[in-house]
Amino acid sequence: AAEGAGLKARRLSTSLPDEFTVDHCELDKEYKSAGSTPFRRGKKIGDGATAEVRLMRRKGGANDDVYAVKEFRARNPKEDEGEYVKKIKSEYSIAKSLHHPNIVETVRLCTHNGRWNHVMEFCAYGEMFTLVKDRHFMPSEHGVPHYKTADRLCFFKQLCRGVCYLHDHGIAHRDIKLENLLLSTTGALKITDFGVSEVFSGEHPGMRAARGQCGKNMSPSIRVCGPGICGSTPYIAPEVLSKQSSYDPRPLDVWSSAIVLFYLCMAPPWSEASEKDIQYLSYTHMWTDWLSRHPDGKIFDGPDGQPKTVNAFSRLDNPNVKRLMIKMLAPDPKHRISMREVLATPTMRAVECCTPDGFGDEGGEAVGKVDARDLKGAKVQVVKKHNHAPPKGGKLPGFLQHRFDMGAGWS
């Protein structure tokens, strides 16, 4: 793995100032170890190519006032110091500006012994990747999986809500995958790791004009991303994987989110979205054949209303969910459904969800600035529909693992 945040960190597409308007402090002045041993940093709960993560408490806070502190590795000697710091602050500024029930709250930017640290909300059940790896979505010895269809669809709807919030505020994540989805003790799925995210519209939250807020001064036109692979191969959309032209980053997030649901339902339909993969090649041929009869690319309910699919789609026993996946996995991004359109479908509207649509009113609008420590007492009424806790006696150390490897980086 590459050292430092160099190749893994986001490639800046906006013209940014040399100095962000970002406040930071010394880590030890505000935070302490979450363990019982004084003068030591918190217990390590995650390790990756670009950072390690430890548990810490806010000084003067309650015993349960615990945070995940992501400490970035030292700068690669080949990387310019100014660019390195700019990337760290850019990622922090974006993450700090986001306030949604399905996005990890970022609290503080700190330094410790010359290293940069992001202080974040702690999600005690860890990565969705671990829950899938430990087969909690697979049939058990009794023939029934721990997480059933209702759980899968609830998780998926939470993911779609989080991504839709990002897109509505001019930000694309660009590395949606199981490793970047965490589970809180309240059953909330939360998106994390904005190391390769892109501000495609409006002011960058780190710029003075934005005042730390996302979605400021957005316009109908968007800033496209230049050719180059960003993310993790199984989740990357074909227009990105081809590296042939610039692309709108929003359809990439839609594609990646659909692949997440396939992982929750067993396995993805292909290894990568390129002609190297026989399954994907067959899928594109089915789309091409269908488009020859329906050139507008609009899928409908009826005879020949959608392209034929490869075998993996048969794992989706609900025909409406299957149709939605086809819309989200259209090989041509111009035929791909948007995330707001995903949530507006009768299929998704019918899915029972455990989390609110936002921290604001019923319309889902986020209001004001929210600090992670304030969320514990937030008066947000949610009807608990599912128990998303992992099985008792599970591999707790695995659940606590957070790996901030930021995907395969750029190539």
**Which DSSP letter does residue 219 get?**
-
Report whether 350 contacts 385 (CB < 8 A). Answer: no
Burial of 384 (0-12, 13-18, 19+ CB in 10 A): exposed
Tokens of 22: 């970002």
Query: Cβ(183)–Cβ(128) under 8 Å?
Result: yes
* Residue 100 contacts residue 194 (beta carbons within 8 Å): no
In the chain, the amino acid numbered 140 is: S
Q: Which of 322, 311, 400 is nearest to 149 (CA)?
A: 322
Crossing angle (nearest 10°) for helices 249-264 and 319-328: 150
Single-letter amino acid, residue 29: K
E runs forming strands in 36-140? 44-47, 51-58, 66-72, 106-112, 115-121
State the DSSP string of 152-192. HHHHHHHHHHHHHHHHHTTEE-S--SGGGEEE-TTS-EEE-
Q: Which of 97, 245, 262 is nearest to 177 (CA)?
A: 262
SS in 3 state form for 254-267?
HHHHHHHHHHHCCC
Catalytic member of 151, 168, 175, 357: 175
| DSSP-assigned letter for residue 302 | S
| 86 annotated to bind ligand | no
Residue 86 CA to residue 92 CA, distance in Å, equals: 10
Burial (CB count within 10 angstroms: exposed 0-12, middle 13-18, buried 19+), residue 30: middle
Q: Is 175 a catalytic residue?
A: yes
Q: Is the four-CA dihedral 27, 48, 199, 356 of positive or negative sign? A: negative
CA–CA distances in Å: residue 139 to residues 53, 134, 267: 32, 11, 14
Catalytic residues: 175
Q: Per the annotation, where are the binding residues for ATP?
A: 70
Q: Per the annotation, where are the binding residues?
A: 70
